[in-house]
Structures are given as structure tokens and as C-alpha cells.
């Protein structure tokens, strides 16, 4: 992929969220000549009416794979945010001929056979216990989120099917060897959920590592800074 050519960025969004949460990024990407594709998983966002107890991680991986298939996406820069790191890892595994780079934005980085509960059960289980048995209520937004953005987010975020967190990732093609980068949001929450993944990436020469002065959802609170990082990483030569 030519470093100066337009890129196709495909987003695997976070839990409770949807493609709409990347609204601020679309004009920035378009102005730079890039394409940003932000599909919504089954049961969330504008597809909330499809929510049911059977939805799991596999459903969401298939959602994104079908976007790749039917939109005929190629040379993809795949972006996984938060829970979307689980989805993006599964998508990259099954679409290795379509994905050229994989970028985790403050995201979970699972290994084969791991579920999100394996990586962060305590925090998520606490939220799950306040749900209705098959759905998990949203986490609160970070304190540096503006009042306008808090209102925008809170009226659109919906409960998450718990099976998405319970399902183990099953890699079909062995270990991933795609060029990978990690963006760590340094305005961390007290539990620092994503610090372990960031430190692992930082210490691994096979990974690119970057930090952003933002809280957990820079696509909402720091879109320009995230845009700069994503395009910089996409233009870097493969490691």
C-alpha cells in the first residue's frame, strides 16, 4: 500500500456503542481523502431492535466480515476500539488477504481461546450484575467528556448482550502476523483496564506503539488527535 495513497479505514467499535459514535471522524477522514467505514454490530445503535440473548462475539465478527465481503473492501486499515479489539482480532484472522494493518485504540488484545471476561471479568461482571441477566448496562463516560457529548452518548448507548463478553475468540488461521500498532489513551481510569495491553505492545518490537492525551474514547473527545495518529500509522512502512 502506497504511503501517500488514500486509505480505507474500517472500524470495529466498542461495547454499548455503534458506528454513530465515530461521527466526528468522518469529515476529518473525508477531507484527507480517506474512506472511513463504521458499521454497527447486530443489537446495537440503529440495529438495537435486533437485540436478543443469542448475540455473541461471533455475531459481531460476522457483521464486519460481511461488510468487507459485500462492500468489497480491500487494503483495509482495521481499527479496533475497546471491545472492538476482540472483534477486530477475529476479523483480521479471517480476512488476512484484505487487511494490511491492524490498529488497536485503547482496546483488548485477545489471544486464541480468550474471552473478554478472561481479560477483564471483575469490572464487566459488576456491570452485568446490575443488568437483566442477558444484557450489560453501559459503563459511565469518562469525566473529561463535555456535557454536550455526554448527552449525545447517553441517549444513544444501549445495553450489551452478555454473550459478547463470554464468548472465547477462536482464531482459524494461527497466530496473526499482520503489522499491528497500539494507541494507548493516557487519561486512564482508576483500574487502568488497557494498561497491560499497552505495556505488552510497547515492549514488543513487532508492534508499533503510540500514546494519545485523551480518555478512553478519543473518537469522541479528541478526534483531531486520533485522526493524526491513525493516518500516521497507516502511512508507516510495515515492520
Residue 238 inside a domain? The answer is no
**Count of domains observed in the chain:** 1
CATH code of 51's domain: 3.40.50.1820
- Rounded Cα distance between 184 and 104, Å, is 8
Band (pLDDT 50/70/90 cuts) for residue 216 is very high
Residue-wise pLDDT for 8-33, tens only, equals: 999 999 999 999 999 999 999 999 99
Above 70 in pLDDT, residue 73? yes
CA neighbor of 123 nearest in space, from 109, 110, 113, 108: 108
Please list, residue by residue across 203-235, b when 16 or more beta carbons sit within 10 angstroms of its beta carbon and e when fewer do: eeeebbbbebebbbbbbbbbbeebbebbbebbe
How far, in Å, CA of 63 to CA of 90, rounded?
11
In a domain, 3, yes or no: no
pLDDT band at 3 (very low <50, low <70, confident <90, very high): very low
Secondary structure of residue 7 in the 3-state scheme: coil
Query: Which are the catalytic amino acids?
Result: 82
Q: Say what the pTM is.
A: 0.95
Domain with 122, as residue range(s), is 8-233
Amino acid at each position: 500500500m502506497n504511503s501517500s495513497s488514500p486509505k480505507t479505514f474500517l472500524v470495529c467499535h466498542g461495547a454499548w456503542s455503534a458506528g454513530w459514535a465515530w461521527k466526528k471522524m468522518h469529515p476529518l477522514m473525508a477531507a484527507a481523502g480517506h474512506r472511513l467505514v463504521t458499521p454497527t454490530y447486530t443489537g446495537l445503535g440503529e440495529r438495537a431492535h435486533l437485540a436478543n440473548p443469542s448475540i455473541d462475539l461471533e455475531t459481531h465478527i460476522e457483521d464486519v466480515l460481511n461488510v468487507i465481503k459485500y462492500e468489497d473492501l480491500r487494503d483495509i486499515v482495521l481499527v479496533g476500539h475497546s471491545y472492538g479489539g476482540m472483534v477486530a482480532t477475529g476479523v483480521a484472522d479471517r480476512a488476512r488477504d484484505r487487511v494490511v494493518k491492524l490498529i488497536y485504540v485503547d482496546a483488548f488484545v485477545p489471544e486464541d481461546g480468550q474471552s473478554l471476561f478472561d481479560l477483564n471479568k471483575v469490572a464487566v461482571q459488576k456491570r452485568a450484575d446490575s443488568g437483566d441477566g442477558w444484557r450489560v448496562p453501559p459503563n459511565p463516560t469518562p469525566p473529561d467528556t463535555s456535557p454536550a457529548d455526554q448527552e449525545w452518548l447517553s441517549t444513544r448507548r444501549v445495553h450489551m448482550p452478555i454473550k459478547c463478553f463470554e464468548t472465547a475468540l477462536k482464531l482459524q488461521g494461527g497466530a496473526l502476523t499482520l503489522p499491528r500498532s497500539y494507541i494507548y489513551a493516557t487519561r486512564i481510569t482508576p483500574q487502568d483496564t488497557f494498561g497491560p495491553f499497552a505495556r505488552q505492545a510497547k515492549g514488543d518490537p513487532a508492534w508499533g506503539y503510540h500514546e494519545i492525551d485523551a480518555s478512553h474514547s478519543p473518537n469522541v473527545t479528541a478526534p483531531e488527535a486520533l485522526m493524526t495518529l491513525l493516518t500516521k500509522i497507516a502511512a508507516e512502512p510495515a515492520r
